[in-house]
Structure 1
Amino acid sequence: MKAFLLVFLGGGLGSALRYLIQRLYNTSTWPLGTMLVNILGCLIIGFVAGYLIKTEKYSISLNLLVISGFCGGFTTFSSFGLEGVKMLQAQAYWQFLGYTLLSLCLGYLAVGVGLFIMKVSY
């Protein structure tokens, strides 16, 4: 139950902050707020993951609150970034390239298919 509450609290805070940043910085011509959220989420998840790896007192609570909760609610792009960097550090270059290209291309395709099914366009 504690784990659920930590993820719930972090996710709610991350989602609310994402909403505020997007409202402040997104324009009709450029989603600056979304880009800022994605980059900031990557920075946060990298910092916290690095901290958890370096410290001798690994905190599952901090992991749940910040990585799963806050970053998950703030942006899933941060998880994508962390996974890609892990592949690069493991020198799994082809895996990284495939993962990145497939995630981006299939993600865009899925958004397009969803919009097509709903008969909506931007």
Structure 2
Amino acid sequence: MFAAVFVGGAIGSLLREAFSAQIPGAPILTATFGINVVACFILGWLYAVRHRVHAHVVHLGAVGFCGGLSTFSSFVAELERLAISNLWGAVSAAGLEIAIGLGAAMLGEGLGRRLHDQQVPE
């Protein structure tokens, strides 16, 4: 289990670093927005299939990979930078990004259920 979390976290962190250097910040969104939304989608999908895959897959994917890919600390630091120049812009960005992240998780969960319920009858 620990090895799965370690390997997933290393891969997720390296991907985050590679992509975050190429994604410019926007006036109303943080630079980690896209990365965090992808992680939310994957977490939703893994939640849907958690009973159909080995526990180490969930540890590797959800705890390790998504934990390394997404980044709450960078999200908060970027919101702080936005707040210095535009407090309401930062509040709007936080609300928008959290809502879109929840939507992405729900979409991933729904898609995971739909695809995996068709493959494995209960």
Normalised to the residue count of structure 2, the TM-score between the two structures is: 0.53
Q: Cα 1:21–1:30, aligned 2, differ >3 Å: closer, same or farther?
A: farther
Gaps of 5+ in 1: 86-122
> Which residue is 2:57 aligned to?
62
Cα distance in 2, alignment partners of residues 13 and 62 from structure 1 = 14
Q: CA RMSD in A?
A: 3.0
| CA shift for structure 1 position 44 | 0.5
1:14 aligns with 2:12: yes
Q: Cα 1:40–1:60, aligned 2, differ >3 Å: closer, same or farther?
A: same
Cα distance in 2, alignment partners of residues 61 and 32 from structure 1 = 32
> Which residue is 2:111 aligned to?
none
The one-letter code sitting in structure 1 at the alignment partner of 2:66 is: C
| CA shift for structure 1 position 26 | 2.4
Q: Give the counterpart of 1:45 among 43, 46, 57.
A: 43
| CA shift for structure 1 position 75 | 1.2
| CA shift for structure 1 position 6 | 0.7
Normalised to the residue count of structure 1, the TM-score between the two structures is: 0.53
